[in-house]
Amino acid sequence: MNLSTTIWILLVTIAASIYAWNRQDLYEKWMLNPYQIKHYNQYWRFITSGFVHLNYPHLIFNMFALYYFGQNVAYYFGPSGNLILVILYLAGIVVSDIPTYLKYKDVPNYNSLGASGGVAAVLFSSIMFDPLNEIYIFFIPYGIPGFVVGILYLIYSYYQGKRMSDNINHDAHLYGAIFGLAFTVLLRPGVIISFIQQIKEWSP
């Protein structure tokens, strides 16, 4: 059976999350804890934090989004798409955690976990290639063009990151998204022209 790269990432992440839920010592050791990274050089947390989740809804939401957009991104990048997808996803997890690390590196009890930064990077890479691809959000009965969702996503993540009124790491969402955009433009500069042309052709 020839499984796609996206499916392999999903399987590894699901297995790692479920395994960590049953091993409290690993669960705590794999989370992003900026204090532990700074003072005890536990740099692996930048990666492992993306493979553990808070609960099943958190895991399912991230993996569903990764499945839907990951296969698109692999296709858009062509023959090297699978390798590029893996690099984009893993780098998105790490890069999106850096601002959180800098903000909380001296706060012993701060923890963060989940693949949201990597998923956001993949999502926004997909939006750059196909900004008019309709995305369905929760119970809204009609699709919303990807670029509109992207704009709302960035505004919401920035606003919530400033408020810090919940336990969600909105900074990871924001910086993962920005990284996804930058990564895609760096590797495929022509995507900017294509993006603009598609937006011009869009009619609400």
Q: Is the pLDDT of residue 195 over 80?
A: yes
Question: What does the block give as tokens for 20?
Answer: 């960590």
Q: Who's near 76: CB < 8 A, 6+ residues apart?
A: 125, 126, 129, 130
Residue with tokens 């740099």: 43
Q: Is the pLDDT of residue 152 over 60?
A: yes
CB 133 within 8 A of CB 126: yes
Give pLDDT tens digits for 133-145.
Answer: 998 876 777 889 9
SS (H, E, C) 87-103: HHHHHHHHHHHHHHHHH
How much is the pLDDT for 146?
Answer: 94
> What share of the chain has pLDDT > 70, as a percent?
95
How much is the pLDDT for 162?
Answer: 77
Domains within the chain, CATH numbers bracketed: 5-201 (1.20.1540.10)
| CA 30 from centre of chain | 17
The model carries a pTM of: 0.93
Give pLDDT tens digits for 21-77.
Answer: 999 999 999 999 999 999 999 999 999 999 999 999 999 999 999 999 999 999 999
SS3 percent helix, strand, coil of the chain, rounded to 5, is 70, 5, 25
Question: What does the block give as tokens for 135?
Answer: 């995305």
How much is the pLDDT for 169?
Answer: 82
pLDDT bracket for residue 3 (50, 70, 90): low
Give pLDDT tens digits for 70-101.
Answer: 999 999 999 999 999 999 999 999 999 999 99
